[in-house]
């Protein structure tokens, strides 16, 4: 009895392999998507509209003006309506598929833009902090005007000292010259 249980498939686990009578066709989703985009892009051109207009005008003209035995779709043009409906039934999903692919690309680009904006914002904040720290550091450093005023003050002090020394030397030089003159017999 335990052998029969082991050979039976368990319902709580999936099968390893399935036998298929008819093999499903395989296709590359990207290849089909590229085809859908090209088709949708072509349907949105003036060339397509001109071709469709010429086709419909030709169809109607043939079925109105051709001899009766060569006409294949009489006045209500039911077959033309069927053909246009068939074309529309294939075109709509292909256009939607192309739009979905474009939306996915737009989403990726938008995410990349958001990330770039976040990096740029972080860089700007960093640079603003750096500029602020440089301003604070420069605030502690002597400015050009401050240095000029200090140097002018020092220069004035030096000029005063030189003048004082010059006066002292001049006075001592004159005293020494008088002694030289007096000391000479």
Residues 6+ apart with CB under 8 A from 101: 33, 36, 37
Percent of the chain past pLDDT 90, that is, above it, reads 57
Closest-CA residue to 88 (of 34, 30, 47, 39): 39
Is residue 185 predicted with pLDDT exceeding 50?
no
Helix (H, G, I), strand (E, B) or coil at 29: helix
The reply to whether the predicted model has a pTM over 0.85 is: no
- The structure tokens 């939306």 sit at 103
Distance of alpha carbon 61 from alpha carbon 57, whole angstroms: 6
């Amino acid at each position: 009895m335990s052998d029969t249980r082991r050979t039976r498939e368990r319902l709580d686990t999936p099968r390893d392999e399935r036998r298929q009578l008819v093999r499903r066709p395989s296709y590359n989703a990207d290849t089909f998507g590229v085809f859908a985009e090209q088709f949708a892009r072509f349907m949105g051109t003036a060339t397509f509209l001109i071709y469709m207009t010429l086709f419909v005008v030709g169809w109607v003209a043939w079925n109105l003006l051709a001899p009766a035995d060569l006409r294949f779709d009489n006045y209500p043009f039911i077959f033309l309506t069927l053909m246009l409906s068939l074309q529309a039934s294939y075109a709509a999903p292909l256009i939607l598929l192309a739009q979905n692919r474009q939306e996915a690309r737009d989403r990726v680009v938008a995410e990349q833009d958001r990330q770039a904006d976040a990096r740029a914002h972080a860089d700007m904040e960093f640079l603003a902090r750096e500029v602020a720290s440089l301003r604070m550091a420069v605030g502690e450093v002597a400015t050009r005007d401050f240095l000029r005023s200090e140097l002018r003050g020092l220069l004035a002090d030096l000029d005063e000292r030189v003048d004082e020394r010059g006066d002292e030397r001049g006075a001592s030089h004159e005293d020494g010259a008088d002694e030289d003159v007096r000391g000479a017999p």
